[in-house]
Amino acid sequence: MDTKTKSPAITFSGSLSQHYDDCLGPMFFEPYAIEVAKRIDPAAVQVALELACGTGRVTRHLRNALPANTKLIASDINADMMAVAKEKLSSANIDWQIINAEQLPYDDNSIDLVVCCFGYMFVPGKVKAYHEAYRVLKPGSMLLMTTWDKLEHNGASYMYRKVVEKCLNEPLPETCNLAVSMSDDKEIRKDLQQAGFSKIIIESVDKISENRSAKEAVEALTQSGSVYDEIMKRNPSQINEIKERLEKELSEKFGASPMKAPIRALITQAWKNLII
């Protein structure tokens, strides 16, 4: 049984979902969406399941990488996020589903590939969710997932955190660390093994987060999310000061225009054993 502390729900609705796609998507998620699609063997996949598809960044690359006759199920627990994806990819052959990663509505040994990019961090019962992925995968098939590495390896986000803590004059709560809560490869491996996986490869992969300007990056970072919520809760009048300080520091360290900052994620591939 997964005994870890349950993760608080993270929600994006309405215009926040669109902001997530327009601003945070290119900045953080697009580089890894491209990378994940490269790690798939299209010939081995007849049915693919994407969990936590969000606004469809990875979904688009999966659909392009997979054969036209491969069934692609894109799922999320958040209908508002998925609505953005469905609108963007309305002409693509994709089966959209509202699905909880801890309760997959599919038969045992029925899926050739499960993909979850930057979603498992927000799932309360991680081992349970991994076990569900293991259950529905066909023997020899793969779970492919990404999670963020430690905050200090993600330049713009790390700088944002430091500026906010300095302005608020106190540390942020642990809930603000949820997005980087799966940076320990040993813990990921242990949980996957508990769920049944035995062949597991975990790699630390560096990319570059690029924005047209540091100012644009600031607007992306400071419009939503747990850190923004803390600012609004404690001292909303400081938001402009935080933006000014952050733009200055990002410009100095990563360039004013364009701004290029390092990002790092863990890419995990885990296979279900073949039945002998």
| CA distances from residue 190 to 102, 174, 216, 243 in whole angstroms, order as listed | 18, 23, 39, 40
* Close Cβ partners of 87 (under 8 Å, ≥ 6 residues apart): none
Q: What is the CATH number of the domain that holds 136?
A: 3.40.50.150
Separation between Cα atoms, residue 121 and residue 268, nearest integer Å: 13
What's the confidence (pLDDT) of residue 95? 98
For the cut 60, the answer to whether the pLDDT of residue 15 exceeds it is no
Domain that holds residue 198: 15-151+181-210+264-271
Give Cα 51 to chain centroid, integer Å. 10
Compute the distance between CA of residue 114 and CA of residue 217 in angstroms, rounded to an integer: 31
Task: State yes or no: pLDDT of 127 exceeds 70.
Answer: yes
Q: Is residue 74 part of a domain?
A: yes
Looking at residue 96, its pLDDT comes to: 98
Contact in structure between 74 and 42 (CB atoms under 8 Å)? no
**Any domain includes 44:** yes
Bridge partners (DSSP) listed for residue 76:
98
**pLDDT tens digit string along 143-191?**
999 999 999 999 999 999 999 999 999 899 999 999 999 999 999 999 9
- Residue 7: name the closest of 142, 144, 101 by CA: 101
Q: How far apart are CA 104 and CA 67, in angstroms?
A: 24
Selection from 90, 81, 142 nearest residue 113 by Cα? 142
Q: Tell me the per-residue pLDDT of 90-114, one tens digit each, with 9 for 90 and over.
A: 999 999 999 999 999 999 999 999 9
The chain-wide mean pLDDT, for the chain, equals 92
Per-residue confidence (pLDDT) for residue 2, from 0 to 100? 43
Residue 269 has pLDDT above 50, yes or no: yes
pLDDT of residue 112: 98
Confidence of residue 63 (pLDDT cuts 50, 70, 90): very high
Q: Is the pLDDT of residue 14 over 50?
A: no
Nearest CA to 116 among 266, 230, 234? 266
Three-state SS for 41?
coil
Domain presence at residue 61 = yes
Is the pLDDT at 209 greater than 90, yes or no?
Answer: yes
- For residue 225, tell me if it sits in a domain: no
The closest of 275, 86, 81, 83 to 72, measured between CA atoms, is 86
Give the chain's domain count: 1
- Does residue 112 sit within a domain? yes
pLDDT recorded at residue 275: 62
Q: If DSSP codes are grouped into helix, strand and coil, which group holds residue 142?
A: strand
Q: Is the pLDDT at 10 greater than 90, yes or no?
A: no
58 within domain boundaries: yes
pLDDT band at 194 (very low <50, low <70, confident <90, very high): very high
State whether residue 141 is helix, strand or coil.
strand
**What does the alpha-carbon distance between residue 101 and residue 116 come to, in Å, rounded to a whole number?**
9
Q: Round to whole Å and give the CA distance between 45 and 112.
A: 5
* Nearest of 99, 106, 61 to residue 78 by alpha carbon: 99
* pTM of the entire predicted model: 0.91
User: What letter would DSSP give residue 225?
Assistant: S
Rounded percentage of the chain residues whose pLDDT exceeds 70 = 93
Tell me if 102 is assigned to some domain: yes
On whether residue 160 sits in a domain, the answer given is no
